[in-house]
Structure 1
């Protein structure tokens, strides 16, 4: 948005990355503290159930709500805020110099394409991460769903699918940038003769 403004320094980037890691460690250690594998009799077999064993339903519910807010709502709010600001600034911008119909038409087309790309990035984050958050909330508020052994297999498959979908968001952004931005293109290295 401000190409002539001073860039973020390396020290600030290092501080930001360190802060992210320092905030992530306590969040992950909560799960490490409460995740255990416990043996259960299942017919004539002993099966181990590896899950989080919380001291109370209130603690589990509070943790899950905090995780949804921190992992989903906070990043989505940041994306929406940043991309809305960029889109609004870009939409109001006019090309410099005297009006030229052909140049203005090309500029308008490129501007719309960039705004479309921003919208697609936000939508992909929303679509990829929402099913996992909904599944986790349903699991927290309806633990009886896992009581039926036949339903457990289906729910495990659903859990694997929503996890895969959430993680797939990481590789989608470069693809979106490549196809929706003319200036972001992969250039194959030239073969040496």
Structure 2
């Protein structure tokens, strides 16, 4: 059994006419994004959402959802990873009451560091059964390995008490390229000439 988007579409179809929804936040746009919208984090988080995972888990005895356990687990694993790598303040986990939103610490039994290590193994298992493309696996694996190596270096060599992985990301760079695309007429693929021209206008 593997995770399937069909379970999410069935959940959305079942709940769309209802006023109260257990799969809170799941929308048709998130389930059927365009190639450009697939990079929209807000839409991604509508799919990888704890409410959605719990809604699927609550329906595991139903005929249409009897094999949805793998989908539920897949969502939860990605959510844990997302929580760990997006911690930007030391107290986030305390305020949200979520151990996966705590900074990765210098403790030998830190659960978040252990999860990142297990996450790499999990990616390889899923790749072996043909779930991930080579490109997706390489990107996720490199990210997880790099973050884990950074944590180990900061803890062992720099003697940090904890590491905020949410500070190690490419948001500023992505924001800049977003400006380039908008100033080039909303084009997704821009050439070097357009990049240089828009950078010149930004700096004026």
TM-score, structure 1 as length reference? 0.34
Bigger radius of gyration, 1 or 2?
Answer: 1
- Higher relative CO (Cα under 8 Å, sequence separation at least 6) belongs to 1
TM-score, structure 2 as length reference? 0.33
